[in-house]
Structures are given as structure tokens and as C-alpha cells.
Amino acid sequence: MPKVALIAGTYLPDRCGVAHYTARLRSELSINTIVLTTTEAAKLANDPSVLGVVEDWNLQNLPALVQAVHQTQADLLHIQHAAGTYGFDRAIFLLPIVLRATGWHKPIITTAHEYGWWEWQPKWIPSALLESLKQWGQQQQWWDREDGFLLTQSAAIITTNAEAEKVIVDRLPDAKVHRIPIGANIDVTACKTARQKLLENCGWSEDVTAIAFFGFLHPVKGLETLLKAFQIVVQQQSQARLILIGGVESLALRGAEAKQYWNKLESMISELQLNDRVHMTGYVPGEVASVYLSGADIGVLPFNHGVTLKSGSLLALMAHQLPVIATRSTDSTLTSLVKQIPSRNSDALIHALLELIEDSSERFRLAQQGYQFVHQFNWKTIAEAHLAIYRSVLSHA
């Protein structure tokens, strides 16, 4: 069986979706894997197979990363890439050619978790010249305008979503691109008393309709729109209750900023006079979140930029057989799976919530369709797809 070295911008699964994805993938792979990440992330991970090899991802740390890759003696290198997890540093874009120049001839695979929205724009290179270099290199298939040498030097590219796949194929038509959808970011915990535990922990009565948001509480998640809409919903459906499941601390929102946003939400709930109708859990382990979701009636994800199948939170809601209201995106697959609404639109959200509260048959239909869909992409299937790609590139190495 091959030994695979995984490079991860961070390895804090409770604070980063990509790190959580990497950890879940490793847990299902039946092969020897090792993670190369930052010293801070490795220290917090407290796992001997997670090595801290760089302080951060800037150019000065590139030689240490190259040396660490060689020292793994792995059969294959798999880079998990999302620009934000590397602090938007670009040194990782040079890693493949530096590895080749130092004698690494084993296959490289890159998973592009995000693609098509961010590019390197250094101020010290004239914009016209930079654009010409990007276009010329991409036409030659030597580098691409977004990720440098990362994709063009990979034996295989994995994407998790159709949007990224389309842009990569358009830019790099000769690339070997594989799409492997992600799975739900928590497992379903069997609990016959989930409803009772939800009600007890939130202090709610048995006749409530529990609406659940699940995921990091961030400004881009549309929570302000949700709370304002929910205040109107309660006026017409007094039994409605809202639970916000998740913490604020993450790579995107840290320390004082995270605390400030939590306080903002608490203040907003108080100002809207929803203290006895809205419950915020803060960060809870996956098995606890699963109990809350199993006890809820409706799921809601009013993200400002729309919800796609890249969202592990969406898949978790569907895996827990919840009918879901979500903001519209370009992902046409979701049209029949969730009740879609425009983003930042309180009126549409109010209407959707009231409709599902009042229509049990529509709740059942959405719940069943979402549940059937999400079970196509469990983590075992995802791991098997990765193993097939690993075997393929190794057989052609």
C-alpha cells in the first residue's frame, strides 16, 4: 500500500472546513498517511502523524517544506489547497517545480477546494505585464493564472464542486481533473431521545417548531437577516424557535473579532426581544450537534453568497433528514433539494419559513429528497474514489 504525504495549510478541524475535510479523509483511507503543516497546527493536533514543518507559508519557509517532503519518503504527495488556509501566501504555488528541481520525481496530486475567484496581484509588477505573463503561461499550460505551478505540475487535480471544475477545465484543457463531492461535516449520531434533549437544553416546550442553523457563526452567513426575519415569523407562529449551532472562533474570525461578533449577535437577539426564542450553543462536538439536528424540524442556511454543495453544513442538515431553506446559488443541482431564496432578502426568508412551518407535506418531501441525495456521498465512497486516483497516478509514474 502506498504512503501518502498530505500538505495542509492548517490542521485544526474544529476551526477550518478544509482541515476537517482532510482529517475525515485520512480517517477513512486504508493506507499510511502523514500530514505536513505549520508548527502551531501540529502542536494543537497532538498527533505523531501530523508534523509541523514550517512556521507559516511564506517564501522563506519554502526550503524547509521541500526538505520535509523529501524526508517523508512518501510514494505520493497530495496538496490540499484553499488560498485562505495558507494565509493567501503564494510560496505553495512554487513547490512543485522546486521539488522537481531537487530530485522529487514522485506524483503530485492537488485538491483545489476553491478556484476561480482569487488571483495574485502584486503591486510591484505592472498590471498589463502581469496579465500578459498569466495568459502566455496558461496558454502554454506551464502555469495557470490563479495557482501558479500547483495545478499544471500535478498528475491529477481533484475538485469538490462543479463550479471549480468548470473553470479549471476551461483554463487547463489538458489537465486530468476529477470531481469528488464532499460529505457531511458531522456523522449522524443515533439518539432516540434527541428531541427531548434539544427541548431540555434550550428550555423549550414540546409543541415548538425548532428551526436550526448549523455551522460557524460568521458575518457572511446571513445571520442578521435570519434574526430579523425570525422576529416576524414568531409574531405569526408563536411556537417557532431558532437554534444557532456552532461557534464563532475559526481561521476566518479569531480572538477579539470572534468575541465581538458573538456579542453582536447576543445584543441583536436581545434588541429583537428573542431571548426566550433563540438559543446559541457555541462550539459543540459533532455528536452533540447531531443530537440537536436530529431533534429539530427545519434547517436554514441564509448565506450572503449563496449555498452550494461545497457546504458540509448543508449536507449535514440533509443527512439529518431536515427540510432545508437556503439562499440561491449557481448550483442548479440544489433546485429540487432545498427551498431556495434570494440572499439578504428578509421577506423571502419570512415567507419560506412560514410556508414550511405550515406545510408538513412539503417538509417531508424536501427532507426525503435531500436525505436520498446526500447518501450518495458518504466518506467511505469519497475515500475509495481517492484510492482509485492514487493507484492510477502511481501506475503511470
Q: Where are the alpha helices (DSSP H) in the chain?
A: 17-28, 39-45, 62-72, 95-101, 127-139, 162-171, 194-202, 223-236, 255-271, 286-295, 312-319, 346-358, 360-374, 379-395
Average pLDDT, stretch 170-193?
90
Asked if 227 and 274 count as a contact pair (C-beta separation under 8 A), the reply is: yes
Cβ-based neighbour number of residue 302 at 10 Å: 28
**In the chain, pLDDT over 90 holds for what percent of residues?**
70
pLDDT band at 98 (very low <50, low <70, confident <90, very high): very high
**Single-letter amino acid code for the residue at 384:** E
pLDDT for the residue numbered 280: 97
The distance from CA 111 to its chain's CA centroid, rounded to whole angstroms, is 13
The helix/strand/coil state of 53 is: strand
User: What are the domain boundaries of the chain?
Assistant: 3-183+378-395, 194-374
Q: What angle do CA 319, 276, 353 make, to 5 degrees?
A: 45
Radius of gyration of the chain, Cα coordinates, nearest whole angstrom: 22
Specify the pTM: 0.84
Average pLDDT, stretch 111-134?
84
pLDDT for the residue numbered 146: 87
Asked: is 3-183+378-395 a CATH 3.40.50.2000 domain? The reply is yes
Cα distances (Å, whole numbers) of residue 62 to 70, 286, 302: 13, 35, 39
> What is the dotted CATH code of the domain comprising 194-374?
3.40.50.2000
- The residue ranking higher by pLDDT, 390 or 136, is 390
Cα distances (Å, whole numbers) of residue 122 to 87, 126, 130, 174: 15, 8, 9, 28
- What span, in angstroms and rounded, lies between the C-alpha atoms of 156 and 154? 5
User: Would you say residue 332 has pLDDT above 80?
Assistant: no
Asked if 216 and 250 count as a contact pair (C-beta separation under 8 A), the reply is: yes
Asked if 393 and 160 count as a contact pair (C-beta separation under 8 A), the reply is: no
pLDDT for the residue numbered 116: 83
Asked if 152 and 139 count as a contact pair (C-beta separation under 8 A), the reply is: no
| Pairing assessment for the beta strands 156-159 and 240-245 based on DSSP bridges | unpaired
pLDDT for the residue numbered 358: 95
Average pLDDT, stretch 95-124?
90
pLDDT band at 367 (very low <50, low <70, confident <90, very high): very high
Q: Could you please report the per-residue DSSP string of 64-127?
A: HHHHHHHHHT-SEEEEEE-GGGGTT-SGGGGHHHHHHHTT--S-EEEEESS-SS-----TTS-H
pLDDT band at 196 (very low <50, low <70, confident <90, very high): very high
Cα distances (Å, whole numbers) of residue 223 to 41, 251, 264: 29, 19, 11
pLDDT for the residue numbered 123: 78
Residue matched to cell numbers 488560498: 83
The grid coordinates of residue 56 equal 507559516
* pLDDT tens-digit series, residues 135-168: 888 888 888 888 889 999 999 999 988 888 999 9
> What mean pLDDT is reported for the chain?
92
- What span, in angstroms and rounded, lies between the C-alpha atoms of 309 and 286? 20
pLDDT band at 127 (very low <50, low <70, confident <90, very high): confident
Asked if 338 and 373 count as a contact pair (C-beta separation under 8 A), the reply is: no
| Pairing assessment for the beta strands 108-112 and 76-81 based on DSSP bridges | parallel
pLDDT for the residue numbered 290: 96
User: Would you say residue 254 has pLDDT above 80?
Assistant: no
User: Would you say residue 224 has pLDDT above 90?
Assistant: yes
- Are 3-183+378-395 and 194-374 equal in CATH topology? yes
- What span, in angstroms and rounded, lies between the C-alpha atoms of 113 and 122? 23
CA contacts within 13 A on the Cβ side of 15: 17
Contacts of 67 (CB under 8 A, 6+ apart): none
User: Would you say residue 291 has pLDDT above 80?
Assistant: yes
Sort 60 into a burial class: Cβ within 10 Å, 0-12 / 13-18 / 19+. exposed
- What span, in angstroms and rounded, lies between the C-alpha atoms of 101 and 106? 12
Contacts of 388 (CB under 8 A, 6+ apart): none
pLDDT for the residue numbered 330: 75
Q: What are phi and psi of 185, to 5 degrees?
A: -85, 0
* pLDDT tens-digit series, residues 14-59: 778 899 899 999 999 989 999 999 999 999 888 999 999 999 999 9
User: Would you say residue 209 has pLDDT above 90?
Assistant: yes
Average pLDDT, stretch 72-80?
96
